[in-house]
Structure 1
Amino acid sequence: MSTATPLRLVTLVGSLRQASYNRMVANTLPELAPAGVGINTLPALHDIPLYDGDVEAKGIPPAVTALAEAIRTADGLIIVTPEYNYSVPGVLKNAIDWLSRVPNQPFAGKPVLLQSASMGPFGGARAQYHLRQVLIYLNPRVFNVPEVMVGGVQNKVDAAAGKLNDASTRDHIAGQLARFADFIRAGA
């Protein structure tokens, strides 16, 4: 795929809180994307019910079907997530569990980029490592380096604007996005 070919990426945020730091990182991604790369944030995961085989037997919920289609039709997926109790937030794991049940698996072969942010010094590293384990079964093409784990995120955002404002972090993320675009194009 040529570098002139536009890419359409979607971002899945692993937090429900409107003012979450990870949502602020996700809100900033479109302005950090390289030329020819568009990034849209997927709807919050509020409408996805807890996974239940009895519900599944009646049909995949519309919110899950819509999420699966948005991921399936995108050129790549960015997951931006906090770390909860040394792991992945339940709402994100639940969404992935539902997505694993849909036909025409949206994660299969899909380029996936992981980012995390936390108030602590590790920036959500443990959540990313657990998320990598969860995704193995679904067989995406997970981008490895450079990693983005934003520690001390509360000091790197403009909460009123809902965006990341730390210059060095923004530069690092912009570099990661450029490399991810190359990764997608190289695998196409």
Structure 2
Amino acid sequence: MKLLGISGSLRGDSVNCKLIREAARLLNPDHFIEADLNIPLFDADEEEVSGLPEAAMTLVHQIAEADGIVISTPEYNAAISGVLKNALDWVSRHKPNPWAGKPVAVMSAASGRAGGIRAQTMLRACMTPFNVRFLPVSELAIAGARSEFDEAGRLTSERYEAALQRMMDALKAEIARGK
């Protein structure tokens, strides 16, 4: 099983990166890749001249090769991050659509009390055109996220870890159903 983790944060000590790594630990795939969203800003004029940037093509291939995908988004001003939206915009330009039929787990980690739930709603809306298979489980939103991980990047709350385990069990079942 190949799992792709996408964090909507470029921050070195990102809690969203920690969350996708925890998801991978609990899912225990044969292969785990973390996407790099450090992609140039979308520019249709540049695309017309040069095509998709190499970093965007790498992401396209990672999505296409993954059996399942976990996306963790921060919440900036009640929305997803610019880097995540930019990556979605670039990938949307590739034909065929690498997202089609992929099982996707959506989660968030944020400083606020809502844990990024509004960003998850926006992310789902942004991904609707891609025809992914969102998991039929409730959202996982880690509130006050800076204090929810230890120095090794592991979740410290049994409640959050149990919820993430349920989500990864559902992702594993969805991946198996799709094969």
Tell me the TM-score normalised to structure 1 length. 0.89
Q: Distance in 2 between matches of 1:55 and 1:134?
A: 23
Contact 2:35 2:62 in 1 (8 A): no
Give the secondary structure class of the aligned counterpart of 1:66: helix
Q: Cα distance, 1:164 vs. partner?
A: 2.4
Q: Distance in 2 between matches of 1:38 and 1:134?
A: 29
Q: What residue in structure 2 maps to residue 137 of structure 1? A: 129
Q: What residue in structure 1 maps to residue 42 of structure 2? A: 51
Q: Distance in 1 between matches of 2:138 and 2:31?
A: 19
Q: What residue in structure 2 maps to residue 75 of structure 1? A: 67
Q: Cα distance, 1:39 vs. partner?
A: 5.5
Relative to structure 1, the CA distance from residue 139 to residue 150 in structure 2 (aligned partners, 3 Å threshold; closer, same or farther) is: same
Q: What residue in structure 2 maps to residue 31 of structure 1? A: 25
Q: Distance in 1 between matches of 2:30 and 2:16?
A: 19
Q: Which amino acid aligns with 2:166?
A: G
Q: What residue in structure 2 maps to residue 15 of structure 1? A: 9
Regions of 4+ moved over 6 Å: none
Contact 1:19 1:162 in 2 (8 A): no
Q: Are positions 1:65 and 2:47 aligned together?
A: no
Unmatched 5+ residue regions in structure 2? none
Q: Distance in 2 between matches of 1:42 and 1:100?
A: 19
Identity of aligned residues (%): 37
Q: Between Structure 1 and Structure 2, how many residues are aligned? A: 178
Over the aligned positions, Cα root-mean-square deviation in angstroms equals: 1.5
Q: Distance in 2 between matches of 1:16 and 1:163?
A: 19
Q: What residue in structure 2 maps to residue 112 of structure 1? A: 104
